[in-house]
Structure 1
Amino acid sequence: MNLLKGAEMIAIDSGKIAAMVAQMRSAVATVHAPGSQVIEGQAKGGVDFGQVFKAQMDQVNGLHQNAQKLGERFSLGDDSVNLSDVMIASQKSSIAMQTTIQARNKLVTAYHDIMNMQV
């Protein structure tokens, strides 16, 4: 698929779009999984982007808080916490944050591309 932007053609890779759709479906499946925090009363078959986004942000926040607590416990000399556990939790938190930032950047770019389309 190609879009006309100004005088130049912009190629859209359908493989990348399919990959992003697969990631979004995976996120939705995570939200709808047993034990997840989904607001009751949602229409069957419908997905609320706000709920999915909030659930993902809550998950990222939880990873960050867990890493922070483990780091504090290790710093205070808690023998039940290993340095490797602290580092793994920190890396999980960092990767989750980087993924969230990249997803935000892609959404903003897609929004700008749609808003700049000529109808």
Structure 2
Amino acid sequence: MTVPINPLAAALQQMQSMATQAAGGSPGVANESGAATAGGFASALKASIDKISANQKTAIGEAHAFELGAPNVSLNDVMVDMQKANVGFQFGLQVRNKLVSAYNDIMQMAV
């Protein structure tokens, strides 16, 4: 098992393993009631996390290019991309917090 570097990816992986344990089976497989366990939602969440990661990598790449004096990279572009990456990360962090809170609420109902 590899350890994910991105904290959101780590949270997603932990939620998937907890969902698998709660469902008593493998993710994406229908349970006794016929409901799918988290296939579509997990893939949409992973796509969002990948986009956030890509935005961060792009912003860091532009910042490094600006630091090295690349003529086609302006400070304005670097700052806008850094802010986009920051807003995306903060949004992802809030979504993660809401998911964890909802998961905890559901687990407390089951007791």
TM-score normalized by the length of structure 1? 0.58
Which one has a larger percent strand, Structure 1 or Structure 2? 1
Q: 2:100 aligns with which of 90, 105, 108?
A: 108
Return the alpha-carbon distance in structure 1 between the equivalents of residues 46 and 103 of structure 2.
19
Return the alpha-carbon distance in structure 2 between the equivalents of residues 69 and 53 of structure 1.
24
| Shift >2 Å, 4+ stretches | none
Q: Gaps (5+ residues) in structure 2?
A: 1-35
Q: 1:86 aligns with which of 70, 75, 78?
A: 78
Give the share of equivalent positions with the same residue, in percent.
39
Q: What value does the CA root-mean-square deviation take over the aligned residues? A: 1.6
Q: Gaps (5+ residues) in structure 1?
A: 1-45
| 1:91 partner amino acid | Q
Q: Spell out the pairing of 1:60-99 with structure 2 (5 A cutoff).
A: 60-99=52-91
Bigger RCO of structures 1 and 2 (CA < 8 A, at least 6 apart): 2
Q: Spell out the pairing of 1:1-119 with structure 2 (5 A cutoff).
A: 48-117=40-109
State the 1:54 CA deviation. 1.1
State the 1:118 CA deviation. 5.8
| 2:73 partner amino acid | V
